[in-house]
Structure 1
Amino acid sequence: MKLGARIFKTGVAISMALYLANLLDLPSPVFAGVAAIFAIQPSIYRSYLTLLDQIYGNLIGATIAIVFVLTLGSNYLTIGIAAILAIVVMLKLKLENTVPLTLVTIIIIMDSHSTNFLTFASLRISTVMLGIISAFIVNMIFLPPKYETRLFTSIHSVSEEVIRWIRVSIRHASDHASVKEDIDKLTEKLIKVDQWYSFYKEERSYTKKQQYAKARKLVLYRQMIATSKKSLEVLKRLNRFENELMELPEHFHMMVQERLESLASYHEQLYMKYVGKLRPEHSEGSGTDAVMRRNEVMTIFVKEINLAHEENEGEFSVYHLMHVLSAILDYEEQLEHLDLLIIAYLNYHSEEVDTGLENAI
């Protein structure tokens, strides 16, 4: 089991909430600890949004609980009805994420045996609020998350694995079932990459210069993700049409193999260029040469189609080959676009590149 910063922050938030509740002599400090559990979030921005939502939920739950106790009294039935009403209200207000804490607030307020109910309720509300605020403070000052490194590392890791499989698959050295299993795993990893991207996007920038650089980085990382997805699509096509590719004419198969090898190397070099290990002007697969190579592929492809029709070669499946070639061409275009974005970014914001990213490669 991997112990991350969020696990430690949860423990610190609980301890802090319990300590402050005892320090302020609030009754039942355990409820402050419970509230802190619900309020810990993976990013500072989400923690801020959660703080607002949890405060709204706490106040709504407290209001419903107080109204029910003052009008209908407190018993098992009224607590259940109040909980149902609170859930409906929270769903209507699109605050469904705060429902658990709202229900906790209702139960701890309505479970009152005190003659001075309003004082009791206000103390319970304050206890819950203390837990929420404690979690927010911990999230702000204790190991604030930096998601750029995690995002880049995740993208690079997925791309490296895809490229490795592409190189093996185009040589027909891979096991079909193993590749298919890894494709499913890589798809799940890309979903996680999208999550890291969302977290990084939510990180705040406090100066205009930082905001401008961050906006460019977001475009750059989005293109990195798009390129990785295209590379995975190439791998899927190679795996799906493995038998058809084995039946290609030898010279054409070698051309496709060399083209994929060139694109794989190009992809690897783009990451090295971004972290400063290659010169920005170094480009293996862009410009006029790349256009000429694409035209060469298409020219040979058309010739092979004509030959197949003339000779009636049933083994040569034009339809399936088109799927593979279209994926390769899309992948190449995404790589070239990524290259242009990296060059533009390094020309204007080279000092903004995190030096810690070099360790990811």
Structure 2
Amino acid sequence: MKLGARILKTGIAIILALFLSQLLQLPAPVFAGIAAIFAIQPTIYRSYLSVLEQIQANLIGAAVAIIFVLVFGNHVFIVGLAAIIVIIINLKLNSGNTIILSLVTVIAIMESQGDNFLQFALIRFSTIMLGILSAFIMNLVFIPPKYETKLYHKIAKVAEDVFKWIRISTRHASEHTLLKNDVNRLKEQIIKIEQLYIMFKEEREYFKKATYAKSRKLVVYRHMIATVKKALDVLKRLNRFENEFHRMPDIFQTQIQQQLDFLVFQHEQILLKFIGKIKLNTTIEDSEFLSNKELMEIFFAQLKNLDDEYEYCLYHMMPFVSAIIEYAEHIEHLDKLVNSFHNFHKEQNEVTVQELPEEH
């Protein structure tokens, strides 16, 4: 089990909240610790949005609690009614994520037993605010992970696994169950990649030039993810129609194998080109590569080569060939994007790409 940055941040934020509460001699420092838990976020931008939402939630909870205590008292039924009102207000403000903190504030304030209620309420409100600010400090102090680095290497790793299975499957060397399980795993990995992409997108730049460069990179990464998805789609269809593919004529199987080998190789080269591992504008010559039109002509030509008994296989091959064509189109577009990224605004784009480290 890995001890991640968020785990460390949460623990240290709680320590800081409790320490400051004791230093300021605030009663019930536990509420500061609880508030700190809710305010921890993975990025500085999310932390900024979160602290605004948490402050709003604290204000809502405190205001409702004070009004209800002053008007109705703090009977248990009144506490429950106040909690319902707080939930409704948060939902109306589209602040569903902060409902729990609002409720914590309500309970913390409405448990007052003494005469100096307003002073008690202010202290409890301040205690929870201290927890929120402690978490915000931790989010600022802890340098967030390099989401671009993680994003690229995650894409490259998933792509590598997909390439491996495509090469194995077209040579009839894959085990159906193992491949099916790995396809499901790869689908989950792509979901994680998309989450990393969102994290990277949310990272804010402080200068206009950096913002424009970031926007260009986002376009490349978005299409990089889309292209890996198309490669996985080819693999899924290959796995699904494995028996039908193996019943097709040998010449057709060989041509599909060569076509996929070329596309996979080209995809690998583009990923390496993006991080500067190979030269820009590198052209890959392959006399066996088929254009989309040639691939469709070969596909329809199989009608003459199939016995009536296996004619159904050709119909099942239609979505498979279609997936290969879409994959080829995505690779072509990705290659143009990567070349354009490096050829234009070179000074702005080059540095970040070079800083991408090797994954060990």
Normalised to the residue count of structure 2, the TM-score between the two structures is: 0.94
Identify the match of residue 305 of structure 1 among 287, 299, 303.
Answer: 303
Q: CA contact under 8 A between 1:213 and 1:352: conserved in structure 2? A: no
Matches within 5 A, 1:289-328: 293-308=291-306, 312=308, 314-315=310-311, 317-328=313-324
Q: What is aligned with 2:329?
A: 333
* CA 321–265 in structure 1, closer or farther in 2 if over 3 Å, else same: same
Separation of aligned partners in 2, 1:63 and 1:74? 14
Q: CA contact under 8 A between 2:303 and 2:311: conserved in structure 1? A: no
Q: CA contact under 8 A between 2:147 and 2:199: conserved in structure 1? A: yes
Matches within 5 A, 1:1-361: 1-284=1-284, 293-308=291-306, 312=308, 314-315=310-311, 317-347=313-343, 348-349=345-346, 350-360=349-359
Q: CA contact under 8 A between 1:227 and 1:331: conserved in structure 2? A: yes
Separation of aligned partners in 1, 2:70 and 2:256? 78
Q: CA contact under 8 A between 1:247 and 1:315: conserved in structure 2? A: no
Percentage of identical aligned residues: 51
* CA 105–285 in structure 1, closer or farther in 2 if over 3 Å, else same: farther
CA-CA distance at 1:360 after TM superposition: 3.4
Segments of structure 1 that go 5 or more residues without pairing to the other structure are: none
Separation of aligned partners in 2, 1:345 and 1:290? 29
Separation of aligned partners in 2, 1:47 and 1:285? 49
CA-CA distance at 1:49 after TM superposition: 0.9
Separation of aligned partners in 2, 1:162 and 1:216? 26
Of residues 239-248 and 146-155 in structure 1, the stretch that sits farther from structure 2 once superposed is 146-155
* CA 209–291 in structure 1, closer or farther in 2 if over 3 Å, else same: farther
* Matched residue SS, 1:173: coil
* Matched residue SS, 1:283: coil
* CA 358–343 in structure 1, closer or farther in 2 if over 3 Å, else same: farther
CA-CA distance at 1:16 after TM superposition: 1.3
Separation of aligned partners in 1, 2:352 and 2:254? 38
CA-CA distance at 1:352 after TM superposition: 3.2
Separation of aligned partners in 1, 2:15 and 2:257? 59
Letter paired with 1:80: G
CA-CA distance at 1:285 after TM superposition: 7.2
Separation of aligned partners in 2, 1:148 and 1:182? 25
Separation of aligned partners in 2, 1:241 and 1:328? 13
* Matched residue SS, 1:325: helix
Separation of aligned partners in 2, 1:177 and 1:22? 58
Separation of aligned partners in 2, 1:195 and 1:13? 24
CA-CA distance at 1:137 after TM superposition: 1.4
Separation of aligned partners in 2, 1:153 and 1:86? 44
Q: CA contact under 8 A between 2:58 and 2:125: conserved in structure 1? A: yes
Deviations 1:257-282 (CA, angstroms, capped at 9, x unpaired): 01111111111111111111100111
Q: CA contact under 8 A between 2:248 and 2:314: conserved in structure 1? A: no
Separation of aligned partners in 2, 1:246 and 1:292? 20
* CA 271–358 in structure 1, closer or farther in 2 if over 3 Å, else same: farther
Letter paired with 2:329: E
CA-CA distance at 1:313 after TM superposition: 5.7
Normalised to the residue count of structure 1, the TM-score between the two structures is: 0.94
Superposition CA RMSD, Å:
1.9
CA-CA distance at 1:307 after TM superposition: 4.5
Deviations 1:65-91 (CA, angstroms, capped at 9, x unpaired): 001110111122111111111111111
Number of residue pairs aligned between Structure 1 and Structure 2: 357
Separation of aligned partners in 2, 1:104 and 1:163? 51
Separation of aligned partners in 1, 2:235 and 2:70? 66
CA-CA distance at 1:24 after TM superposition: 2.1
Letter paired with 1:336: E
Deviations 1:326-350 (CA, angstroms, capped at 9, x unpaired): 1001111111111111111112234
Deviations 1:240-264 (CA, angstroms, capped at 9, x unpaired): 1001100111111101001111111
Letter paired with 1:351: E
Letter paired with 2:332: E
